Each structure stands twice: as C-alpha cells, then as structure tokens.
Structure 1
C-alpha cells in the first residue's frame, strides 16, 4: 500500500512538471523591430502580437506623483524621481 501511494505521488509530480511551459516575457516590449522603440506602446503591442506572455517595463514616479516609463532612473542626466513632470516632458 505504501509503495502504491509513493508511486501515485511521483506519477502526479512528473505529470505536473511535464505540463509546465516556459513563458516568454518581452523585456521593454518587442522593440527590435522596425517602427518600435523601447518601452513604447508599439513595442508592447508587437510583443502581444508574437504571443509573448507579457512585457516588462520600468516605471518611475515624478516629484508630484506622475508616472513615467523609462528604463533607467536618469534620462539625459535628468533624475525621474526628483524632477517635475512638466520638466521631464521637455526633454
């Protein structure tokens, strides 16, 4: 009886592992195609069109609490977290 329980436990573990699938997440969207740039809406739409599970992107909050999508904390020397949104828009 004990062997039977162990056998079925191992059987279910092996079955559950064999059905696991790798999920592809697009880093900053699918931006290595013509007409797309990193972290752009077009790169996220293209990632979806090729069947990516999701897209990863970085979000920073400005001094007044507005959200900005940018890979790095700084863009052209401007810190996203210590700069007002209106100033970031002029970059």
Structure 2
C-alpha cells in the first residue's frame, strides 16, 4: 500500500503555482478561490484568441475530453461516468 501523500505535489511546488500563498495561508475558498499561474496563462491565451477573433472550438473540445479523462482517472471512474456541464443547475 502506498502513502496517500505520495500522490500529491510537494507544498513548495504548489505555493509557487499560487503566488498569494507565498506569504500567507489562503482559506477563503467559499468566497473567491485563487487561480494558479497555469490557469492564468490559459486564460490569457483564450482571451488573446477572442480579442483577435479566433475560435478554436475543435481544440477546446479536445481539451474538455482530455480533462474528462484525467479527472476520471483521478477519482477512479470511467470517462463516460464524468459529466461536464456549464454550471451546477444544468447538471
């Protein structure tokens, strides 16, 4: 049996990904969660594409399917057991 902590990134790596945690512990996730550097980079790329009139719907759907597969693996489910919806009301 492996240790549960062996599946997680080291805390210092996570803190680098979330700059607001460099000098504090952030616990207000009910109000507005922090975004990671990776998320910011992805959002910037998406907004730049929109600004320039680019719409890569096929690429976006590929990312959705990759995310569905990774999440299914993370929770020990099959890909077709994971629903992706636009919000909780839709799901």
State the structure with bigger RCO (CA 8 A, min sep 6), 1 or 2. 1
Q: Which structure has the larger Rg over C-alpha atoms?
A: 1
* More helix as a share of residues: 2
TM-score by length of 1: 0.27
Higher strand share: 1
Q: Give TM-score, length-normalised by structure 2.
A: 0.27
